[in-house]
């Protein structure tokens, strides 16, 4: 692997990295995709291959819809190095990485950084106690190992909180409560964005469905 040179190096095999690889290979560019996870998919489509065909399909249709992109990525002809962490990029387009415990250096004409988002958990008193974890951690356990706990209380805000609570319910786990910490009048600040949201009716419908299922279950 040492001293190899590539036209395009993409760091991250989540939806952004996979889509970029499909595009660059279609344009005839020699592409390599590097990702620190064992499988492609990133956060949203984590462990998709292993979870496909499992019953019940509790992770939701939008999760399984990722199969199309994952297949296009697998078929696109890009070189793919999973289990490989990039730790430095230099001005000379040298990419330093660790693959299976071994340090390597490769170079590229162009580098696409598609390393995605990280969760930003808010520290609260007791957040390091056993049995307390971030919602991203809880969802990762569910996707990666089909692990969840009964009687969980979900606290926070934003779509990942509701999606994970909904996935828990679909998985047959008992959810004790969902506590949204956003102030009751805060919805007003979202009004300017309403027209844009209306352009995505499928997304809105999905959110309504999660809220409806959670409300009915917790009533």
Ligand X SMILES: Cc1cc2nc3c(=O)[nH]c(=O)nc-3n(C[C@H](O)[C@H](O)[C@H](O)COP(=O)(O)OP(=O)(O)OC[C@H]3O[C@@H](n4cnc5c(N)ncnc54)[C@H](O)[C@@H]3O)c2cc1C
Residue numbers at the binding site for ligand X (CB under 6 A): 11-17, 34-37, 42-44, 85-86, 114-119, 136, 139-140, 160, 163
Say how far apart CA 177 and CA 37 lie, in whole Å.
Answer: 32
183 versus 209: smaller Cβ distance to ligand X: 209
183 versus 208: smaller Cβ distance to ligand X: 208
184 versus 204: smaller Cβ distance to ligand X: 204
What's the closest the beta carbon of residue 66 comes to ligand X, in angstroms? 9
183 versus 203: smaller Cβ distance to ligand X: 203
105 and 89 Cβ atoms separated by less than 8 Å:
no
DSSP per residue, 101-155: TEEEEEEEEEEEE-------PPP-TTTTSTT---HHHHHHHHHHH----TTEEEE
77 versus 136: smaller Cβ distance to ligand X: 136
What's the closest the beta carbon of residue 141 comes to ligand X, in angstroms? 11
Say how far apart CA 152 and CA 217 lie, in whole Å.
Answer: 13
Say how far apart CA 158 and CA 68 lie, in whole Å.
Answer: 26
What's the closest the beta carbon of residue 128 comes to ligand X, in angstroms? 18
What's the closest the beta carbon of residue 169 comes to ligand X, in angstroms? 15
What's the closest the beta carbon of residue 15 comes to ligand X, in angstroms? 4
Nearest in space to 153 (alpha carbons), one of 163, 145, 144, 165: 165
């Amino acid at each position: 692997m040492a001293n190899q040179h590539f036209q395009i190096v993409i760091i991250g095999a989540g939806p952004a990295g996979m889509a970029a690889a499909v595009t660059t290979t279609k344009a005839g560019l020699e592409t390599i995709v590097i990702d620190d996870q064992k499988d492609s998919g990133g956060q949203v489509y984590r462990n998709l291959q292993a979870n496909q065909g499992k019953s019940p399909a509790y992770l939701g249709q939008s999760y399984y819809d990722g199969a199309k992109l994952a297949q296009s990525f697998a078929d696109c002809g890009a070189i793919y190095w999973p289990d490989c962490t990039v730790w430095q990029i230099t001005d000379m387009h040298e990419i330093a990485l660790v693959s299976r415990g071994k340090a390597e250096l490769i170079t590229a004409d162009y580098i696409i950084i598609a390393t995605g988002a990280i969760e930003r958990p808010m520290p609260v008193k007791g957040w390091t106690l056993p049995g307390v974890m971030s919602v991203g951690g809880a969802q990762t356990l569910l996707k990666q190992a089909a692990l969840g706990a009964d009687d969980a209380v979900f606290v926070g805000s934003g779509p990942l909180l509701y999606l994970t609570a909904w996935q828990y319910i679909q998985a047959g786990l008992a959810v004790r409560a969902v506590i949204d910490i956003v102030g009751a009048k805060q919805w007003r600040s979202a009004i300017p964005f309403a027209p844009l949201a209306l352009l995505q009716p499928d997304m809105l419908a999905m959110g309504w469905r999660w809220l409806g299922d959670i409300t009915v279950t917790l009533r």
